[in-house]
């Protein structure tokens, strides 16, 4: 089945962007198409527009971030919004204020968009229920990281021309990965075939319920793939040991040229970052700019976040006018 194109009358029906699950193929296509327009804008000397002039965006990150936080800040500023980065370490959260009280407090200042990252799955949705503006999930626990999946999709689509029919292997620590979950939902919705590859200890149980093919051997899992998406070993979410040793993990599941040879000759190498070189990916492979699109993923991140802010605030403007 081919994913329908987003026609000019495609409507994004959601006030918030909390996940990819539940978005229609047309809504995803609308977000991807809008992102494309911002890729061009971001490559020009003058990157600034006034689309969001007068709008306020607050970024609240309860977990560390380089890519997502910076790109949301850039995205908001390039669209002309006022952007506040709330520092959790110097906020009243450190004095014991709850997540919901923080949400209610910020809501009283009339922000138009809250961009939130939180270590607990579901926390961003809870917060969204307490505010009047839009909320964008910048990653919640192991649950979802929708803008990462969107930027991955834009990167793939620009290189391969389409998502439909592609064979994608998502490899490594799928168990702890919100990136994997959002990508599985998006790729399947858009007609791609998804494999997960990793040791049984690092795959959710039962992983096949997600509708993916499951492999415990890299060469078998990568065979014939168009896209090889590596995941970081998320030791900060692990209680106890999930792999015998880093050395053994790299031996069996680290991406090397030898293992990559099983994929198609033109297979793309992806990684959401931050990377653990020599753990899930060999440095030489990561830096092979003929095949690795890791830096392109970062570039697309800004465009995708601009598209998300654009589309959610346009919805807001329609509601305000009614």
- Segment contacting ligand CP by CB under 6 A, of 36-44, 62-70, 156-164, 253-261: 62-70
Among 21, 24, 65, 315, which residue interacts with ligand CP (rule: CB under 6 A)?
Answer: 65
Min separation Cβ 69 and ligand CP, Å: 6
Binds ligand CP by CB under 6 A, chosen from 14, 15, 49, 67: 67
| CB 70, min distance to ligand CP, A | 8
Residue of 148, 189, 234, 292 interacting with ligand CP (CB under 6 A)? 148
* Cβ proximity of 102 and 123 under 8 Å: no
Q: Are 170 and 231 in contact (CB under 8 A)?
A: yes
Span interacting with ligand CP, options 30-38, 88-96, 219-227, 268-276, rule CB under 6 A? 268-276
> From the CB of 138, what's the least distance to ligand CP, in Å?
7
3-state secondary structure (DSSP) of residue 158 = helix
Longest dimension (CA), the chain: 60
C-alpha–C-alpha distance, residues 137 and 23, integer Å? 14
Pick 66 or 283: Cβ nearer ligand CP: 66
How many residues touch ligand CP (CB under 6 A)?
9
Give me the 213-252 binding string for ligand CP, x by CB under 6 A, dash otherwise. ----------------------------------------
As measured in angstroms, the least distance from the Cβ of 66 to ligand CP is 4
Binding of ligand CP at residue 105 (CB under 6 A)?
A: no
Distance CA 303, CA 156 (A): 14
Instruction: Quickly list H helices, the chain.
Output: 25-42, 67-78, 99-107, 123-128, 146-160, 178-189, 218-222, 246-253, 257-260, 283-286, 294-321
Beta bridge partners of 115: 59, 136
Quick one: 55 or 145, whose CB is closer to ligand CP? 145
Task: Kindly state the tokens that stand for 249.
Answer: 């993990």
- The residue written with tokens 């021309």 in the block is 161
Which residues contact ligand CP by CB under 6 A?
65-68, 139, 148, 272-274
């Amino acid at each position: 089945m081919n994913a329908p194109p987003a026609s000019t009358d495609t409507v994004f029906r959601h006030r918030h962007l909390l996940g990819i699950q539940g978005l229609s193929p047309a809504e995803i296509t609308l977000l991807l198409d809008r992102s494309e327009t911002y890729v061009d804008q971001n490559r020009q000397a003058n990157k600034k527009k006034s689309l969001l002039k007068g709008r306020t965006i607050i970024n609240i990150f309860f977990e560390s971030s380089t890519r997502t936080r910076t790109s949301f800040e850039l995205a908001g500023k390039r669209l002309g919004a006022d952007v506040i980065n709330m520092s959790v370490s110097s906020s009243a959260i450190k004095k014991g204020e709850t997540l919901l009280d923080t949400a209610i407090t910020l809501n009283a200042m009339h922000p138009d968009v809250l961009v939130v990252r939180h270590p607990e799955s579901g926390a961003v949705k809870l917060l969204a229920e307490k505010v009047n503006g839009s909320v964008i999930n910048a990653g919640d626990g192991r649950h979802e990281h929708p803008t990462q999946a969107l930027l991955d999709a834009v990167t793939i689509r620009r290189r391969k021309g389409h998502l439909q029919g592609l064979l994608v292997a998502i490899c490594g620590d799928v168990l702890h990965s919100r990136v994997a979950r959002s990508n599985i939902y998006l790729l399947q919705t858009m007609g791609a075939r998804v494999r997960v590859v990793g040791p049984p200890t690092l795959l959710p149980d039962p992983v096949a319920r997600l509708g993916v093919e499951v492999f415990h051997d890299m060469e078998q899992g990568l065979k014939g793939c168009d896209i090889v998406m590596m995941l970081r070993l998320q030791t900060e979410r692990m209680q106890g040991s999930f792999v015998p040793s880093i050395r053994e993990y790299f031996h069996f599941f680290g991406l090397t040229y030898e293992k990559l040879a099983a994929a198609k000759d033109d297979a793309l190498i992806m990684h959401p970052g931050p990377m653990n070189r020599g753990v899930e990916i060999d440095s030489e492979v990561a830096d092979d700019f003929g095949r690795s699109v890791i830096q392109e993923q970062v570039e697309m991140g800004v465009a995708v976040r601009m598209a998300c802010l654009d589309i959610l605030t346009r919805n807001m403007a329609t509601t305000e006018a009614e």
